[in-house]
Chain A
Amino acid sequence: MDILNKIQESLYANLIAGKSYLLILSGLKITLIITLAGLFLGTLLGAVFCAMHYSNSRILRSISKSYIVIVRGTPILLLLMLLFYVVLAKTRMDAVYIAVIAFSLNSAAHIAEIMKAALEAVDPGQIMAARTLGFTRLGAFYHVTLPQAGAYARPVYQNTVINLIQWTSVVGYITIADLTRVINAIGARTADPFFVIFIAILIYLALAYATYLIFTLTNRRKRALR
């Protein structure tokens, strides 16, 4: 019974005392905001870089190419620090915004690459077939290229989302109280971090699983026409 009592005590100290659970929830909120905003803006920006890759202008093409090479090769933490301590240091911008910018820039590079690969995987013969049926270039893109490229990109994109969730755990470095940082603070205060870290892992795991569920449930191939 001794052990059970200890666990109960530890859980109380880490979660209930001083309303720690509220702290954890607010940390989770920050993590989700950075992830979702970074993903949304990163996808838009990624699409822009992907479009630039296919543009007729050589300058745009090389901008896109060098951006992807540089940003994909830079650790996200360094990018974060560069923005926080140097580039945007004087703006007094909220650190959460800076994190959103950093993660958007970073995921844009990855997502642009995913989109490129997916577009290239689409059979050009099918696009040609659509054109011979009278579709305009845009029509063929919308009805043939996009749905197929989307299907190819899906699993890799899902991966990117899960990676992104976990990578946001480094934003504590620039003073943001995200889930990881909050857990760290609680553990330091109670000097008994085992359970609280364990719970944090479970939360991240749940987020990854939720992502997996969202992707899986929306991926039912329609077997019959409605």
Chain B
Amino acid sequence: MIKVLNLSKRFGDSEVLRDVSVEIKKGECVAIIGPSGAGKSVFLYCLNALQPHDGGKILINGTDIADKKTDINKVREKMGMVYQNFNLFSHLNVLENIILALVNVKKMPRAAAIEKADKLLEMVSLIDKRYSYPDELSGGQKQRIAIVRAIAMDPEIVLLDEPTSALDPTMVGEVLAVIRDLAKQGFTMIIVTHEMNFAREIAHRVLFMDEKGIYESGTPEEIFVSPKKPRTIAFIKKLKTFNYNVSSFNFDLIAMCARLELFCGKYNIERKTVNDTNLALEEMITYILDHCYKRLQTPNIDIIVEYGDIDKKIVIEIIHNGTSVNPFENIAFMADGEESDTEDLGIFMVKKVASDINFTNEGGLSKFKIKI
């Protein structure tokens, strides 16, 4: 259905895609994942010639879309597209949004178009909103309307460009539910997404894009459970860790804690462990900022929190480039139960909640590894 041969694309001097080849069969649901800036969206835009490509060939049902003789509008009619920012027509109400192309491009009689739109609106349970204007709808509703607008044209292929990225977290679910429905109906779909669990659930095949092309591809199991190539492995691992960088004395502690909570929430980590992790992180950062950096220096502290699926323990890694000090050395000999006279009460507390602390210093970088 879609055949891409040695596709390349550049913007000015920077190459975005190089030698991308892939074939997508009818009824297949393909998820594209990868770090931002890997050319995922550009690839999607190339497929329906919203972005002209520079080299290679794209065949849609055997038609070369770059061919001068190809009527690109006819090809696009067969390809629905859903955007991150919905792109609903703001001057038209919901019903008019859906029927505009049906009436003017497909030349469908108005009454028939309205009937069809109503049927689809009922499917996404937005029939009540048929006379609302886009600015009166929530993000989730807008995206569902945008999906309806795309599939009303009876496309053979549906392209979705990060359909949930611009949504409030509470609205992601309703949009994913609609997309899941489409997948069940057997549409050929290509979806660029950051919703990894969703990609894993609905995709028949996952393409991991990096280094200007399809870096690794395979079934969801192959990519998410046992990736083979280094960048994929690193990417998948990063999904399972919490990363934060402290680059100022006045870093946003509350935001960091909130994000850590969110991370812990994903794994149903025990309340006490979460609190301990929070405490350890906060005390360690305070200590490092106080003792390892001078006031005018720019701190650079990398924090990586990982949750071990097997031993159910949290591992905090803190790496900084300041003066190398190991506060745990000094309090190591302090006997249990004895009143602490150290001024670094924080460090004492970290020691109490941690089950293992490891300190190394290599090449100017100090590294703490703390197990909670």
Contact = CB atoms under 8 A, between A and B. Distances in A.
B100 A123 contact: no
Interface stretch (A23-31, A134-142, A166-174, A192-200): A134-142
Contact of B85 (A125, A131, A134): A125
Contacts of B114: 225
B368 interface: no
B104 A135 contact: yes
A136 B73 contact: yes
Interface in A138-158: 139, 143-144, 147-148, 151
A147 to B, nearest CB: 5
B148 to A, nearest CB: 12
Contacts of A126: 87-90
A133 B76 contact: yes
B83 interface: yes
A148 B133 CA distance: 14
By secondary structure, the A interface counts as helix
Interface residues of B, number: 30
Interface string B129-148: 00100000000000000100
A132 B79 contact: yes
B91 interface: yes
Contacts of A143: 100, 104
A125 B73 contact: no
A135 B48 CA distance: 13
A132 B85 CA distance: 14
Given A123-B90, A223-B131, A133 B153 contact: yes
7 contacts: A129-B81, A129-B87, A131-B50, A131-B73, A132-B81, A134-B74, A134-B76
Closest 5 CB pairs of A and B: A134-B77, A133-B101, A129-B87, A125-B87, A132-B81
Interface of B: 48, 50, 73-74, 76-77, 79-81, 83, 85, 87-91, 93, 95-96, 100-101, 104-106, 114, 131, 146, 149-150, 153
Interface of A: 123, 125-126, 128-136, 139, 143-144, 147-148, 151, 223-225
